Homo-oligomer: A and B are copies of this chain.
Amino acid sequence: MAEQTTFTIAVVGATGAVGQKIVQLLEERDMPIGELKLLSSKRSAGKKVRFKNEELTVEEAAPESFENVDIALFSAGGSISKKLAPEAVERGAVVVDNTSAYRLDDQVPLVVPEVNEDDLQSHNGIIANPNCSTIQMVAILKPIQEAFGLNRVIVSTYQAVSGSGNEACDELEEQTRQYMNGDEMTADQLPVKGDEKHFPIAFNALPQIDSFQENGYTFEEMKMIHESKKILHDQKLAIAATCVRLPIFTSHAESVYAEVENNDLTVNDIQDELERANGVVVEDDPTTQTYPTPLSAEGKEDVFAGRIRKDLDNDYGFHFWIVSDNLIKGAALNTIQIAERLIHNKWL
C-alpha cells in the first residue's frame, strides 16, 4: 500500500479567535494538506474564509462532517469537543483538542511537542492541547527539570484578553473607548461570560480567569497545576498559580519562581540550558534593558524568557519572566505542531 502523502484536515471552531489563527498558520506552514474542511456552529456556518487562493465555505459541524477526515483540530469549546470528538474518532479521524475537555483524561496524551512528544504514541484517537498559560510555562520548565531537577513552582500570570475569545477583545476595545471619552464602562464578558458578575478589564486587572473551584482556586489556576504535573510526568511537583487577566490584547506573560535540585547554579547555567531548548528564546540582559514583553512577543512562535535571577535567600530558587503569544504557541501553533509530529512520526 502506498504511503499516504496528503491529509484531510478539519478545523472545528474555524471562525473563533484560535480557529482563525489555525487557518492562518496552516496557510503559512507546509503541512501536506489534501483538503481543508472548516467547521463551526450553526451561527457561523456559511461564512467564507480565504485559504491558499481558494474561498472555503464554513459548514456546520455534525458527526458526518468527519467522514474521510484524517486529523480534526478542535477549538470550539469543551461541550462541542465532548459531543463531536468521539464522533470524529469513530469515523477514523485523529482529534487534536484545544479545549479542557480531555486534558486530564488518563487515556488522552497532553502534549507540547518540544516537551513530551513521545507521549503522542499512546493516543487512542484524541490528543489534548494544553491550556495557553501551561504551554509557555512547561516549555521553560522542561529543560530545567531535565538538566537540574525541579521541585517547586510558584507562578503569577499576566494574561491577555484574547485568551477569552474575540468577544472579550471587542469588550476591551469598547471599554477603552468609553473610558477615554469619559463614559461609564459597560461589561458583560469578563471575567467569565457565564458568571454572575462582570467587571471592566480596561485599565484594570481581574484576579479571576475561568470559574472558581471549591478550593478557592480558579479553574485556570487548577488547569496550570494539573496539566503541568501531567506534561512534566511528576505528580509530586509542588505548583501554585495565581492567574490574572489584564488589559492586553495578545500574549500572556508569567512571573515564575522555580526551585531546582542543585544549589550551586548560576543565572548563566540556566540561560545556557534555555538557549539550547527548542522553541525557547532567551531575551535577558539587564545592562541593555533586554527582556520580552507582550507586544514584543506578539505574532511570534517562540516562548521568550528574561529577567532570570537567582533568589537572594534560597540557593535552589530562580525567578523568570516568560512571554509568549497566547494564540500562537499558546494555542493554534501547538495544535498544528501536534498534528505535524503525528504525520512525521507516522503515529496517526
Chain A interface (Cβ < 8 Å from any Cβ of B): 152, 154, 156, 158, 173, 176-177, 180, 191, 195-197, 199-200, 203-208, 212, 215-217, 225, 238-240, 242, 244, 246-249, 253, 255, 257, 267, 286-289, 291, 293-296, 306-314, 317, 319, 321
Assembled-state Cα–Cα distance A247/B307 (Å): 20
Interface of A is mostly: mixed
Assembled-state Cα–Cα distance A217/B248 (Å): 25
Among B206, B216, B242, contact of A255 (Cβ-Cβ < 8 Å): B242
- By beta carbon, the residue of chain B nearest A151 is B313
Q: Decide: B207 and A253 in contact? CB cutoff 8 A.
A: yes
Contacts of A205 in B (CB 8 A): 158, 246, 248, 253, 293-294
Assembled-state Cα–Cα distance A204/B251 (Å): 9
Q: Decide: B248 and A293 in contact? CB cutoff 8 A.
A: no
Assembled-state Cα–Cα distance A291/B239 (Å): 22
Number of copies: 2
Q: Decide: B158 and A239 in contact? CB cutoff 8 A.
A: no
Q: Decide: B307 and A225 in contact? CB cutoff 8 A.
A: no
Tell which of A217, A225, A240, A310 has the most Cβ of chain B within 10 Å: A240
Contacts of A314 in B (CB 8 A): 238
Q: Decide: B200 and A242 in contact? CB cutoff 8 A.
A: no
Q: Decide: B212 and A289 in contact? CB cutoff 8 A.
A: yes
Among B215, B293, B319, B321, contact of A240 (Cβ-Cβ < 8 Å): B319
Contacts of A195 in B (CB 8 A): 289
Assembled-state Cα–Cα distance A169/B120 (Å): 49
Contacts of A287 in B (CB 8 A): 212
Least CB distance from A184 to B in Å reads 12
Contact sample, A vs B, 18 pairs, CB 8 Å cutoff: A158-B158, A176-B176, A177-B180, A180-B180, A196-B288, A197-B288, A203-B248, A203-B294, A205-B248, A205-B293, A207-B255, A216-B267, A216-B309, A216-B310, A238-B312, A240-B257, A240-B311, A240-B312
Q: Decide: A255 and B208 in contact? CB cutoff 8 A.
A: no
Given A289-B195, A289-B197, A289-B212, are A207 and B242 also a contact pair (CB < 8 Å)? no
Assembled-state Cα–Cα distance A296/B152 (Å): 33
Assembled-state Cα–Cα distance A103/B134 (Å): 40
Contacts of A242 in B (CB 8 A): 156, 255, 307, 319, 321
- By beta carbon, the residue of chain B nearest A254 is B156
Given A212-B286, A246-B246, A312-B225, are A199 and B156 also a contact pair (CB < 8 Å)? no
